[in-house]
Chains A and B, each alone.
Chain A
């Protein structure tokens, strides 16, 4: 059965810190891995990583995919209070169903 495990489940840091969020997955016929940010309401898309795109960067956020070790990390540098959110990881595999992890709740204190 396909599954996604995120760690840590929650994290509290101070503004300016760098954080690394982890996502490990088990999937048959990997197609893509996605990261979403959820601030109280709907998840908003951050990154999609596929076999042809294993590293993505946008501003202070970056993500890499290790297909051999079956994990991905989301890195946030110089964190700000606005980065406080739940970060969701999801993968799409051969079953064609998007499977989400439980999320990492990030709290950035001033």
Chain B
């Protein structure tokens, strides 16, 4: 039982490049989330998916797109990376959206955009 996994762990991009961050969970959770964390800041929600086939914007969605590929996988895409997107990205999952159940976090992807 791996929980929430993310790939890659680290990535360096040049401005304008694109990439997709992958996230998978094996806990049969319905809901999945993408957050970013900047130095001295808490976690800020980018997008979330309440269930397979649905996605919704969070607090800071601009510059990102998401795909809920199936119940297990939720990817985050940067179409044209900008230095302001340098951050640590966390994926999380929970049994159902905004339930009082715990959200379980992946190990994070550290992204640097030059």
Chains A and B bind each other: yes
A residues sitting closer than 8 Å to B (CB atoms) are 4, 6, 9, 31-32, 34, 41-45, 48, 50, 88, 90, 92, 96-103
With known contacts A32-B100, A42-B90, A100–B42 Cβ distance under 8 A: yes
15 CB contacts below 8 A, A to B, read: A31-B100, A32-B100, A42-B4, A42-B106, A44-B105, A45-B104, A96-B98, A97-B45, A97-B58, A99-B59, A100-B43, A100-B44, A101-B42, A102-B41, A102-B42
Would you call A42 and B105 a contact (CB within 8 A)? yes
CA distance A102 to B4 in the complex (A): 23
A109 to chain B, nearest CB (A): 21
Number of interface residues of B (CB under 8 A): 21
Q: Does B112 contact A (CB under 8 A)?
A: no
Per-residue interface assignment for chain B, residues 1 to 45, with 1 indicating a CB less than 8 Å from any chain A CB and 0 otherwise: 000100000000000000000000000000001000000111111
CA distance A98 to B90 in the complex (A): 14
Instruction: Please indicate the chain B residues that have their CB under 8 angstroms from the CB of A45 in the complex.
Output: 102-104
CA distance A34 to B42 in the complex (A): 13
B residues sitting closer than 8 Å to A (CB atoms) are 4, 33, 40-45, 58-59, 90, 97-98, 100, 102-108
A interface secondary structure, majority: strand
The listed residue (A4, A44, A92, A96) touching B42 by CB distance below 8 A is A4
Instruction: Please indicate the chain A residues that have their CB under 8 angstroms from the CB of B40 in the complex.
Output: 9, 102
A61 to chain B, nearest CB (A): 16
